[in-house]
Every structure is written in structure tokens, then in C-alpha cells.
Amino acid sequence: MSDEEGLSLDDVGAGPEEIAPAGRKAGFLPTFLVRALKWVAIGLGFVILGVTTTVVTFNLVNRGRAGSEMREISPEYSARPEPLNYDDTLEEIRGVTSDEVPAIFSARISLGYEPGKQQLAIEIAARKREIQNIVLIYLSNKRSNELRPEQYRQIQEDLRSQINRVLREGQIESVVFRDFVVTQ
């Protein structure tokens, strides 16, 4: 074999002594059938190569991990939190803001806590006046522009934090406004 001879896929088929016109039988298979089988074999080779590469890559990436293993979902990231119990016994809290010309506010809140925490419910009832005072002082120290609806989430979080500082039997999970009005 010399360097000038190359491997050509068109050379597959009948030998030099069996060359026949196109479409005629050369050997026991026609030329067009030999060419079709050649391309089918090449395609099948590529499919086998692709599947083998995919399987090997998948096994390398997942080595040491069980494929059917389910990870436990953290409670902080669960899509739907468990419903809370709410204490609605706090009375309406009214006061004035710290503006030059004070605005009047009125708030009714509920305190949310985890179900089954009876001691916390008892403590909330016992500290009802203290909690109302915390809310009154917090809201009275704000200006009317700080008590706008876009600030409600921050106000609720601040109140939750301040109320939790005085509780001993547990922590409340949320402060919910049942009614909150600020007027000039």
C-alpha cells in the first residue's frame, strides 16, 4: 500500500474482478444494497458511540450517589407552612405618631404561634397588657410616613421581635394586622 492510496468508502463492495454496471448484481448483493448497508452500519456505529459516551459520563457524574435517594426537605423551605394558632384577645391599640402634627393610628393585631404550645398561649394572656404597651410605644415612635402599607411587613417583623424578647415560654411566629388605620 502506498501513501497515495486512501481509504474511500466508495471502494466497499465487489472486488475488482466482480465490477458490474450500476444496479446490476455483482457477487451475491446488488451495489445499491451494499451502499445502503454501509451507511446503516455507519449510523449504527454513531448511535452506539453516543449511547456509550452518555452512559459512561452519567456514571462518572453520579458516582457515589444513589439515584433514587430522596433528600429530606428542610422545614424552612417547605412550600406550605403549617397553620398557626392565633391569639386575638389583644384589644384595639390607639395612639398618635411622632410627627410635628401628629397623626392618629388605630391597630388590632393577632399573635401567631405554633399549635400545641399551651404554655405560650397562657403566657400571652398573662402578658396581654405588656404586649399592648410594646405595640403602642413602637407605633407611637414612628412617623405617619413610616406607617404606610409598604412598611407593614417590616413593622410586623419588628413587633414580633420586640414581643419575643419578653416571652419566656416560647416564641410567637407572626404578628398579623386585623385592622390598621392611620389618619391625619
Is the pTM value of this prediction over 0.75? no
Do both 97 and 159 map to the same domain?
Answer: yes
Residue 158 or 1, more confident: 158
Please check whether residue 93 lies inside any domain of the structure: yes
pLDDT given for residue 96 in this prediction: 93
Question: Residue 94: beta bridge partners?
Answer: 106
pLDDT digits (tens, 9 = 90+) for 19-48: 555 555 556 778 888 888 999 999 999 999
Do both 179 and 94 map to the same domain?
Answer: yes
pLDDT given for residue 34 in this prediction: 86
Please check whether residue 6 lies inside any domain of the structure: no
Domain containing 45 equals 11-61
Do both 90 and 177 map to the same domain?
Answer: yes
Q: How many domains does the chain have?
A: 2
Is pLDDT of 177 > 90? Answer: yes
Cell of 124: 400571652
pLDDT given for residue 50 in this prediction: 94
Do both 39 and 99 map to the same domain?
Answer: no
pLDDT given for residue 174 in this prediction: 93
Please check whether residue 80 lies inside any domain of the structure: no
pLDDT given for residue 139 in this prediction: 93
**Residues counted in the chain:** 184
Identify whether the C-beta of residue 183 lies closer than 8 Å to the C-beta of residue 168: no
pLDDT given for residue 10 in this prediction: 56
List of E strands, 32-153: 85-87, 93-96, 104-113
